[in-house]
């Protein structure tokens, strides 16, 4: 059974309701497949209208939805109102992309007379929707990465029916959001199976959904353990399907010597805010801070520890997330060479402690247990003796959503071979490299890349944020010598 829980009191709210059964899920997938062809053939104008309709309904129901989200997550009204605005903005951006023809015609190459290899037929490259997409909602963003979030928006924009597996951390909100999406679907005259919701607290619902024969692709945001298990299931199907998973990320932030020369205190304050934002429950939270050895670095670390010691993060989203955080921090504190600079594991039942632990680069590289994500308001400072050690640490981390490099300005003379090598190493392991600011906060733009080498994501050539998120659910097809009239129809959607 599912139950809405007040995040602040831990008390149940309202009556419990049944989880989706295997039969429910199989039926939903079958119905999605039955409408997939017609929805794929729908005009981009209709799909843009659908996305805008969802956004309008979310805005109209804002007060009730935000209050419900606050009760189930405890994230606070300002944060949740901002997140709802972001969700509506995402929907509008995908609608605009559809208006601008970003889905259908990609490339039309005219025929060239003559013998091969110089001569060739006319080739027209288009994209077609994959089919029904299973979307796994995230716990930490109850609007933007949940029922009506970016995965749902991008899949609908691509012309794919969606079945959302709601997150059990906010089940009542998920039902309320699904009602708004379903109402927008109906208002557009589309079949109800274009969007469906399934729910369940255990693993069975997710496993059944991924294994449903009618599902053509999966979009997942969540833990490394759960994501890897589901990715393996998707690959083991009789007909494997793509699994677009955003999993774990430590988001290293590198403080170069030039960044310590001025403004170090302000940087430390901004970093402390980023580490504790949302109780550290952001996939882009900076979890590893690389700082040069020496007095300037010592001063920066002292300032960062002092800032974090004054922070009081709010409660975490679920008891499971809190337990995992405490276990991760305890593991840090007990490794060889660890120094606890701020906080300690095992805070009060309500809130976690903002924690900072320091190790040397040598100890970090020698102990793989330090190289995993600790999801929550904590960071690991790694002290380095040279730029080469910074490169080595990045290599040990492997895939990550972001790398931040502080201390590289616009002066070409300062971009030495060593700096260039460090930047290249950053691009080897990250989907987004920042040279200013902090990694928390992901802009919804055409150029955005929210993904990276494993374990940041299972498909590093794709993004789950930004307009290119649509590309995950569109398959290229080359049409050879297609007639003009057909190409014109396909191009206009």
Q: Which residues are catalytic?
A: 246, 283
Return the DSSP state at 457. Answer: B
- Extract long-range pairs of 200-208: CB within 8 Å, 24+ residues apart: 200/2, 200/19, 200/20, 200/165, 200/168, 201/2, 201/19, 201/168, 202/19, 203/229, 204/22, 205/19, 205/20, 205/25, 205/165, 206/136, 206/165, 206/230, 207/233, 208/22, 208/25, 208/26
Query: Tokens in use for 362?
Result: 């040598």
Strand ranges (E), 229-270: 243-246, 253-255
Indicate the angle between helix axes 171-187 and 44-60, nearest 10 degrees: 130
DSSP 196-226: EEE--SSSHHHHHHHH-TT--EEEEES-HHH
355 contacts: CB under 8 Å, gap ≥ 6: 308, 329, 332, 340, 342, 343, 344, 345, 377, 378, 379
Q: Classify 112 as helix, strand or coil.
A: strand
Whether the CB-CB separation of 92 and 51 falls below 8 Å is answered with yes
Report the residue count for the chain: 493
User: What is the C-alpha separation between 417 and 449, in angstroms, rounded?
Assistant: 26
304 contacts: CB under 8 Å, gap ≥ 6: 268, 271, 272, 289, 341, 356, 381
196 contacts: CB under 8 Å, gap ≥ 6: 28, 31, 32, 161, 162, 163, 164
Q: Classify 17 as helix, strand or coil.
A: strand
């Amino acid at each position: 059974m599912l139950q809405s829980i007040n995040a602040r009191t831990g008390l149940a709210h309202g009556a419990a309701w049944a989880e989706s059964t295997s039969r429910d899920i199989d039926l939903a997938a079958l119905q999605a497949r039955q409408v997939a062809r017609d929805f794929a053939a729908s005009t981009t104008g209709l799909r843009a209208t659908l996305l805008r309709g969802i956004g309008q309904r979310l805005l109209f129901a804002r007060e009730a939805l935000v209050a419900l989200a606050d009760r189930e997550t405890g994230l606070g009204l300002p944060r949740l109102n901002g997140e709802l605005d972001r969700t509506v903005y995402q929907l509008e951006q995908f609608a605009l992309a559809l208006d601008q023809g970003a889905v259908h015609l990609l490339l039309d190459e005219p025929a060239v007379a003559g013998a091969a290899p110089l001569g060739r037929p006319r080739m027209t490259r288009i994209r077609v929707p994959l089919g029904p997409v299973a979307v796994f909602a995230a716990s930490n963003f109850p609007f933007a990465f949940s029922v009506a979030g970016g995965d749902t928006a991008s899949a609908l924009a691509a012309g794919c029916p969606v079945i959302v597996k709601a997150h059990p951390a906010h089940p009542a909100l998920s039902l309320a959001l699904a009602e708004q999406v379903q109402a927008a679907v109906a208002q557009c005259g589309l079949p109800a199976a274009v969007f469906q919701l399934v729910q369940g607290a255990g693993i069975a619902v997710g496993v059944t959904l991924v294994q449903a024969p009618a599902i053509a692709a999966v979009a997942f945001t969540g833990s490394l353990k759960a994501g890897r298990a589901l990715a393996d299931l998707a690959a083991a199907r009789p007909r494997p399907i793509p699994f677009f998973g955003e999993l774990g990320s430590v988001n290293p932030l590198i403080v170069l010597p030039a960044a310590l020369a001025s403004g170090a205190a302000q940087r430390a304050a901004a970093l402390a805010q980023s580490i504790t934002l949302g109780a550290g429950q952001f996939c882009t939270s900076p979890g590893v801070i690389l700082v040069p050895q020496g007095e300037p670095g010592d001063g920066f670390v002292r300032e960062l520890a002092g800032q974090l010691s004054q922070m009081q993060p709010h409660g975490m989203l679920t008891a499971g997330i809190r337990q995992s955080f405490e276990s991760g921090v305890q593991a840090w504190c007990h490794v060889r060479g660890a120094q606890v600079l701020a906080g300690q594991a095992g805070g009060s039942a309500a809130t976690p402690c903002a924690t900072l632990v320091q190790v040397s680069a040598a100890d970090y590289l020698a102990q793989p247990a330090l190289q995993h994500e600790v999801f929550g308001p904590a960071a690991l400072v790694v002290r380095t003796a040279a730029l080469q050690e910074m490169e080595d640490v990045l290599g040990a981390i492997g895939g990550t959503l972001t790398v931040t490099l502080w201390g590289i300005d616009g002066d070409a003379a300062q971009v030495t071979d060593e700096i260039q090598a460090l930047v290249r190493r950053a691009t080897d392991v990250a989907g987004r490299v920042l040279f200013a600011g902090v990694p928390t906060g992901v802009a919804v733009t055409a150029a955005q890349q929210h993904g990276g080498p494993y374990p940041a994501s299972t498909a590093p050539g794709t993004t789950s944020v930004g307009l290119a998120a649509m590309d995950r659910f569109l398959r290229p097809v080359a049409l050879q010598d297609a007639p003009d009239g057909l190409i014109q129809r396909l191009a206009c959607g």
